[in-house]
Amino acid sequence: TASVSNRCIKCGVRSLENHSGHRSLDFLSNGDPISLINPNSSSPITMAAATSESGSKSSKRVCLFHSDETRDLAERIVAKSDCIELRSINWKKFDDGFPNLFIQNAQGIRGQHVAFLASFSSPAVIFEQLSVIYALPKLFVSSFTLVLPFFPTGTSERMEDEGDVATAFTLARILSNIPTSRGGPTSLVTFDIHALQERFYFGDTILPCFESGIPLLKSRLQSLPDSDNISIAFPDDGAWKRFHKQLQHYPTIVCNKVRMGDKRIVRIKEGDAEGRHVVIVDDLVQSGGTLIECQKVLAAHGAAKISAYVTHGIFPRSSWKRFKLDTKGDPAEGLSYFWITDSCGMTVKEVMNKPPFEVLSLAGSIASALQV
Amino acid sequence: MSENAANNIMETKICTDAIVSELQKKKVHLFYCLECEELARNIAAESDHITLQSINWRSFADGFPNLFINNAHDIRGQHVAFLASFSSPAVIFEQISVIYLLPRLFVASFTLVLPFFPTGSFERMEEEGDVATAFTMARIVSNIPISRGGPTSVVIYDIHALQERFYFADQVLPLFETGIPLLTKRLQQLPETEKVIVAFPDDGAWKRFHKLLDHYPTVVCTKVREGDKRIVRLKEGNPAGCHVVIVDDLVQSGGTLIECQKVLAAHGAVKVSAYVTHGVFPKSSWERFTHKKNGLEEAFAYFWITDSCPQTVKAIGNKAPFEVLSLAGSIADALQI
């Protein structure tokens, strides 16, 4: 009888949390929530739970696990919120190269909200992280959230020929196979997924939450001394489709790629760069060839300054070194700023304190997403 | 007229029998991962009904796979198989990407041949917080999309722990095969003057294989902890005067086999050989078994492995005491199920 009563009350509390924050807060601060649901109940466990929730002002306590690569970002996230605490995993290997993994304090996370901060920076690290991701929701957790700031394999997400293998879909399938925790399906938090249709690659067994790094860029642009002279340039139609609604109060320039023989030339399709500080915006950068071509074209059309923003700075084989700081006031020779987020931890380590690069951290956005 | 009719009927019957016999065999299109190319060719050589197909295995600059399945249209309505080798975590994702796509190409059936099911060294939870990566692998495999012809068949040889067969969900049909018939056939070729008996290095191996080798006398060893050391002891059986063949499903660094060999020799074995289905041998640990040229007596007379771990097969070449018993025939048969 007591357990049934507890379960009923728990359900009630959860449904109230779906209402407006004000209503929920008001209810929890009432001081006598039990009487509203079940006047006859006097269970001390329920009282303690309700009191605890009331004290935390509706914020969930979250236990955050992370991979080796995402340790730094995990620490930044924890610094953003008193409700998030860091947890440990032992990442070791057997002689044959397969992972030997141990989740520390596994019993201690029973009944807790749990998150894992992943980074699939190469195919070689997918299996070990996946092993942890598949294990965590089975440990009697209240809920499980997978934070994957960069959803990789963005360069192979469509089938142009029968026989093409869309590895982005493979990864979505693998993630859709995450076991459902006692608290329900896994939430998946990812930032600026490469192609908009990729949100439909996930099965209904997982709840994808698509976030963006663009608010960080807007905040940064507003703090620039020439913030009233900013124009946004999109390197192609794809980037325009992705971001134009979020940046619509800036004048925009759209470039496109034109094939001339074997070459691919970048041209300005619409918009005017003359005298402006132009910020090229895209979701990711690989070797950077397209951005450099855009920079040249914009400079040739009279841009006063050029900067760039990408959410995901992948930069394989240290290709970030191609980008120089504009030290002589000539935008054709260098950038004023190159903003990236910390979604790709290895790039952050390499470019730290190297102008024109500047890292805008996703920590605050992730901390907020963990409260959803 | 009646004579002609009788002849026609007989001819028809013979033709019909031949046709039925042929039709009962499926034509199978076999794809394979890069490191399994040699085994794939050997499988195709075993049967006229198996044809090899190719995949372009490339990478983008960021390290992620750039894959293309050739002749994707032509396998519609055909029986298709993929020969996989998850020799390291780094190659799992590219092969899984192909494995998840093949059954979606309107194939008549799909079979995944995974001779060695890896992560065998961690398949149980001794403590809350252990991560049983073998179960992760089984989950990934169980997530293979169902083809139009039904669930995927998964062919695995000598899976490390018997309970692992229950790790697979009902969306795939696991088929557990063994390399032991190759061993028994090979043992029959040894000189009759040699008295061959079988030794198991531990109870686990005995549980796995004793029924398959029950016409040989057996020796069972056991590991005993003495302080920090793990000593191998003879638990039951008598190796005196015999050629002893140690049988296990896999070998890693080989320490256990070497300890067994010493114990068996100390108890009077005339010769010691070994068989494992899966020669994993991380970090070239197979080298400790090769016959040295420094005059020392050879430790193992023979060391049989199968070709379930292609990288090992390639590395050991033809160095004594190693001998490779190919799974090609057994796989060709499995593809007809």
**Residue pLDDT, tens place only, A239-268:** 988 798 889 879 999 998 786 788 768 879
Query: Dihedral sign, CA of A64, A139, A129, B131?
Result: positive
Residue A77: other Cβ atoms inside 10 A: 27
What does the pLDDT average to over A84-94? 90
Residue pair A177/B143 in contact by the 8 Å Cβ criterion: yes
In a domain, B228, yes or no: yes
B24: distance to nearest CA of chain A, Å?
Answer: 29
- Got the DSSP string for A115-156? EEE----SGGGHHHHHHHHHHGGGS--SEEEEE-SS---TT-
The mean pLDDT of chain B is 87
pLDDT score of B188: 85
Interface residue A107 vs chain B (CB under 8 A): yes
pLDDT score of B6: 66
The answer on B157 and B83 residing in a single domain is yes
Whether A233 shows a pLDDT value over 90: the answer reads yes
Query: pLDDT by residue (tens digit) across A57-86?
Result: 467 879 999 998 898 999 989 998 989 989
- The CA distances from residue A258 to A237, A262, A268, B52, in Å, are 12, 10, 10, 40
Interface residue B106 vs chain A (CB under 8 A): no
- Is A98 within 8 Å of B100 when comparing Cβ atoms? no
- Is A106 within 8 Å of B128 when comparing Cβ atoms? yes
Domain span including residue B193: 178-305
- Is B73 within 8 Å of A125 when comparing Cβ atoms? no
Whether A50 shows a pLDDT value over 70: the answer reads no
A155: distance to nearest CA of chain B, Å?
Answer: 8
The answer on B290 and B206 residing in a single domain is yes
- Using CB atoms within 10 Å of the CB of residue B21, give its burial: 0 to 12 exposed, 13 to 18 middle, 19+ buried: exposed
The mean pLDDT of chain A is 81
The answer on B142 and B242 residing in a single domain is no
Whether A56 shows a pLDDT value over 50: the answer reads no
- Is A164 within 8 Å of B92 when comparing Cβ atoms? no
- Is A162 within 8 Å of B129 when comparing Cβ atoms? no
Whether B45 shows a pLDDT value over 90: the answer reads yes
Q: Lowest mean pLDDT of A145-149, A155-159, B136-140, name the range.
A: A155-159
In a domain, B205, yes or no: yes
pLDDT score of A287: 87
In a domain, B217, yes or no: yes
Whether A39 shows a pLDDT value over 50: the answer reads no
pLDDT score of A4: 40
A281: distance to nearest CA of chain B, Å?
Answer: 20
The answer on B183 and B167 residing in a single domain is no
What percent of chain B is modeled with pLDDT above 70? 88
The answer on B293 and B168 residing in a single domain is no
What does the pLDDT average to over A147-153? 89
In a domain, B16, yes or no: no
- Of A87, A90, A102, A162, which to mutate for an interface test with B (greatest number of B Cβ within 10 Å)? A162
The answer on B227 and B206 residing in a single domain is yes
Interface residue A135 vs chain B (CB under 8 A): yes
- Is B92 within 8 Å of A123 when comparing Cβ atoms? yes
Whether A29 shows a pLDDT value over 60: the answer reads no
pLDDT score of A161: 75
- Is A163 within 8 Å of B118 when comparing Cβ atoms? no
In a domain, B319, yes or no: no
In a domain, B11, yes or no: no
pLDDT score of B322: 93
pLDDT score of A153: 66
Quote the CA–CA distance of B209 and B303 in Å, as a whole number. Answer: 18
**Which segments of B are annotated as binding site for Mg(2+)?**
158, 160
What does the pLDDT average to over A302-309? 94
Residue pair B156/A150 in contact by the 8 Å Cβ criterion: no
pLDDT score of A60: 82
A293 or B36, higher pLDDT: B36
The one-letter code for the residue type at B179 is G
Q: Number of CB pairs < 8 Å for A and B?
A: 151
- Count up the domains in chain B and report the number: 2
- Of B59, B64, B283, which to mutate for an interface test with A (greatest number of A Cβ within 10 Å)? B64
pLDDT tier at B24, thresholds 50, 70, 90: low
- Is B98 within 8 Å of A153 when comparing Cβ atoms? no
Interface residue B126 vs chain A (CB under 8 A): no
With a CB cutoff of 8 Å and minimum separation 6, the contacts of A289 are: none
Residue A149: other Cβ atoms inside 10 A: 25
pLDDT score of A95: 86
Interface residue A106 vs chain B (CB under 8 A): yes
Residue pair B297/B326 in contact by the 8 Å Cβ criterion: no
Quote the CA–CA distance of B198 and B206 in Å, as a whole number. Answer: 10
DSSP H helices, chain A, are 2-17, 21-28, 33-37, 44-55, 71-80, 126-135, 167-176, 214-222, 237-243, 289-300, 345-351, 363-369
What does the pLDDT average to over B53-60? 90
* Cβ under 8 Å to A: B residues 42-71: 60-71
pLDDT score of A26: 33
In a domain, B207, yes or no: yes
CATH number, domain at B220?
Answer: 3.40.50.2020
- Is A167 within 8 Å of B140 when comparing Cβ atoms? no
> What angle in degrees, to the nearest 10, is found between the helix axes of A2-17 and A21-28?
140
The answer on B297 and B265 residing in a single domain is yes
- Is B61 within 8 Å of A103 when comparing Cβ atoms? no
With a CB cutoff of 8 Å and minimum separation 6, the contacts of B149 are: B79, B107, B108, B109, B110
- Of A109, A129, A165, which to mutate for an interface test with B (greatest number of B Cβ within 10 Å)? A165
A196 or B122, higher pLDDT: A196
The answer on B34 and B156 residing in a single domain is yes
Interface residue B118 vs chain A (CB under 8 A): yes
- Buried b vs exposed e over B202-232: b needs ≥16 C-beta within 10 Å? beebbebbbebbeebbbbbbeeeeeeeeeeb
- Is B98 within 8 Å of A165 when comparing Cβ atoms? yes
Quote the CA–CA distance of A277 and A226 in Å, as a whole number. Answer: 8
The answer on B199 and B134 residing in a single domain is no
The answer on B259 and B139 residing in a single domain is no
Whether A273 shows a pLDDT value over 70: the answer reads yes
pLDDT score of B71: 87
The answer on B194 and B292 residing in a single domain is yes
- Is A130 within 8 Å of B136 when comparing Cβ atoms? yes
pLDDT score of B70: 92
Closest residue in chain A to residue B68, using alpha carbons only:
A164
Query: pLDDT by residue (tens digit) across A338-353?
Result: 999 999 998 998 898 8
The answer on B204 and B117 residing in a single domain is no
Quote the CA–CA distance of A60 and A324 in Å, as a whole number. Answer: 43
Query: pLDDT by residue (tens digit) across B63-73?
Result: 989 999 998 98
Interface residue B192 vs chain A (CB under 8 A): no
Element (H, E) at B37: helix B37-45
Whether A16 shows a pLDDT value over 60: the answer reads no
Residue pair B264/B216 in contact by the 8 Å Cβ criterion: no
Q: In A, which residues are within 8 Å of B70 by CB distance?
A: 163
Q: In B, which residues are within 8 Å of A160 by CB distance?
A: none
